[in-house]
Amino acid sequence: MEISLTGIKPTGTMHIGNYLGAIVPAIEMAKHYERSLYFIADYHALTTVDEPAALRNQIYDVAATWLACGLDPERTLFYRQSAVAEVFELTWVLACMAPKGLLDRAHAYKAAAAERKDVNAGIYTYPVLMAADIILYDATAVPVGKDQKQHVEIARDLAQKFNRTFGEVLVAPEPAINEEIMTIPGLDGRKMSKSYDNVIPLWAPAPELRRLVMRIKTNSQPPEQPKDPAASDIFHLYRLFAAPGETEELRARYAAGIGWAQAKEALFTVMERRLAPLRERYKALRADEDGLDRILARGAERARETARGTLRRVRKAIGIA
Ligand code: ADP
Ligand code: TRP
C-alpha cells in the first residue's frame, strides 16, 4: 500500500510561501494515496522553542490552518506527534542502528553546531525521531521541502540497516520532492521566509494584505513602458492565484504597459478572493480549541493502532517480545 506521511513543525507565523509551497501541494498529494498521515511535530519544536504559551498557541494555529486550507481529517490521519508515545520506543531502537558519523553529517545539526555553542542532544538526534515518525507508520512517500530531503534519506538508511540486521520488518521510505514547486518570493524579492522578515502572513486581514502587496519590490520602469512578466514577482504570484484566462489577460496588460500600482491591485484582488473564505474558516476553527483537540485526538487514536502493530513486529525481531 502506498502511504504518504509528513510532519509539520509548529514554529512561527504561517505565510504565503508555506501555503503555496507546502500546504496546498501536501493536501493535493493526499488525494492520490490510499492512506495519508499528516501530523504536528510538536516534540521536534521543543529543540528550539522554550515558551510553553507560544508552543501551545502555535500548535492550534497550525492545526486550524491546515484544516482551513482543506485537509480532510476523515481521509488523512491528523494528529499530534506527542499523542502517540510509541514513537519514542521506536526512536530508541533506531538510535541503536544510527552510526554517529551519519548523524554528524546531518545538515540541520551541522548548521546549528556552526552557529551556536549550546547544541543539545535533541538537535543531534532530531533525524532519529524523524525516522521513527515515518517508519512507525510504514510510510512509503514523505513529501518535504528540499531542506528535509537528507533527513528522509537517513530514515531510509536506518530502516534498511534494521532490515539487514533483523530481517525484512520495516518499510524504507522515499522523499517525495515536488520539483515543480517554485520558491515563492517575499516582499524584497528574496525567498519568502520568516527568517528574512519579508513575509505576507497567510491570515493577514484584508487591509494588511493589501498594504503588504503594495510593498512588494518592483523596478523603476514608468507605467507606460512594456514589462516582462517573467521578471516580475507580482506576475509570478498572480499566476498562482488567478484562473489561466486571467493570467493571459494580465500578460497582455504587461505587454501594453501597466503601472506597478495597477498590477499590485490586480494581485491583491485575486489573493483576497481565494483567501477570504479560508480566513473565515480559519477563524472559526481557531476559536474552538476543544473542537481541534477532538479532531487531533481521533487522529491519534487511529494512528496508534498502526504504531502498536509496527512495534510488535520490531520487538519480536530484536528479541524483546
Ligand atoms: P520559513 O522559511 O519561513 O522558516 P519553513 O522552513 O518553516 O519556512 O517552511 C515550512 C514549509 O514551507 C517547508 O515545506 C518549505 O519548503 C515551505 N516553504 C517555506 N517558504 C517557502 C517559499 N518561499 N516558497 C516555497 N515554499 C516555501
Ligand atoms: N523536520 C521536519 C521540518 O523541520 C518536520 C518533521 C518532523 C517531519 N517529523 C517528520 C517531516 C517526518 C516529514 C516526516 O519541517
Residue 251 and residue 81: Cα distance in Å, rounded?
A: 45
Residue 9 CA to ligand 2 center (angstroms) comes to 7
So what's the pLDDT on residue 48?
A: 86
Ligand 1 binding pocket mutation candidate from 13, 14, 18, 177 (most atoms within 8 A of CB): 18
Average of per-residue pLDDT across 186-214: 96
- Euclidean distance between CA atoms 315 and 22, whole angstroms: 35
Is residue 40 within 6 Å of ligand 2 at its C-beta?
no
* 51 CB-contact burial (10 Å; exposed 0-12 / middle 13-18 / buried 19+): exposed
Query: What is the number of the ligand 1 atom nearest to the C-alpha of 21?
Result: 26
Cα-to-centroid distance, 43 and ligand 1 (Å): 19
H helix or E strand, kind and range, residue 208: helix 206-214
State how far the Cα of 192 lies from the Cα of 199, in Å rounded to an integer. 5
Mean pLDDT of the chain: 95
- Closest ligand to C-alpha of residue 199 is 1
Calculate mean pLDDT across residues 156-166.
98
Of 44-53, 88-97, 125-134, give the lowest mean pLDDT range: 44-53
Cβ(124)–Cβ(103) under 8 Å?
A: yes
Question: Binning pLDDT at 50, 70 and 90, where does residue 180 land?
Answer: confident
Q: CA 77 to CA 18: how far, in whole Å?
A: 20
Q: Is the pLDDT of residue 182 over 90?
A: no
Structure confidence at residue 13 as a pLDDT band (50, 70, 90):
confident
Question: Ligand 2 atom 3: the closest Cα is on which residue?
Answer: 9
Query: pLDDT by residue (tens digit) across 219-271?
Result: 999 999 999 999 999 999 999 999 999 999 999 999 999 999 999 999 999 99
237 CB near ligand 1 (under 6 Å): no
22 Cβ closer than 6 Å to some ligand 1 atom: yes
The closest ligand to the CA of 129 turns out to be: 2
Q: Tell me, using a 6 A CB cutoff, whether residue 148 lines ligand 2.
A: yes
Q: What is the pLDDT of residue 146?
A: 86
Instruction: Please write the tens of the pLDDT for every residue from 83-103.
Output: 999 999 999 999 999 999 999
Pick the CATH number of 3-182+288-318 from 3.40.50.620, 3.40.50.2300, 3.30.450.20, 3.40.50.720: 3.40.50.620
135-148, pLDDT tens digit by residue? 999 999 999 988 89
> How far, in Å, from the CA of 7 to the mean position of ligand 2?
4
The rounded Å distance from CA 145 to ligand 1 centre is: 7
Q: Is 44 in the pocket of ligand 2 (CB under 6 A)?
A: yes
- Please report, for the chain, the start and end positions of each structural domain, with discontinuous segments joined by +: 3-182+288-318, 203-283
Ligand 1 within 6 A of CB of 10: no
CATH architecture type of domain 203-283: Orthogonal Bundle (1.10)
116: pLDDT strictly greater than 80: no
Residue 12 Cα to ligand 2 midpoint, Å, equals 15
How far apart are the CA of 193 and the centre of ligand 1, in A? 6
Pocket of ligand 1 contains residue 197 by CB under 6 Å: no
Q: pTM for this structure?
A: 0.95
Whether 24 shows a pLDDT value over 80: the answer reads yes
Q: Given the CA of residue 15, which atom of ligand 1 is nearest to it?
A: 3
Give the integer Cα–Cα distance in Å for 319 and 58.
40
Taking residues 34-44, what's their average pLDDT? 97
Edge-to-edge strand ranges of the sheet holding 174-176: 76-80, 35-40, 3-8, 141-143, 174-176
Atom of ligand 1 nearest to the CA of 186: 23
Ligand 1 pocket check for 195: Cβ under 6 Å: yes
Question: Which residue, judged by its Cα, is nearest atom 8 of ligand 2?
Answer: 7
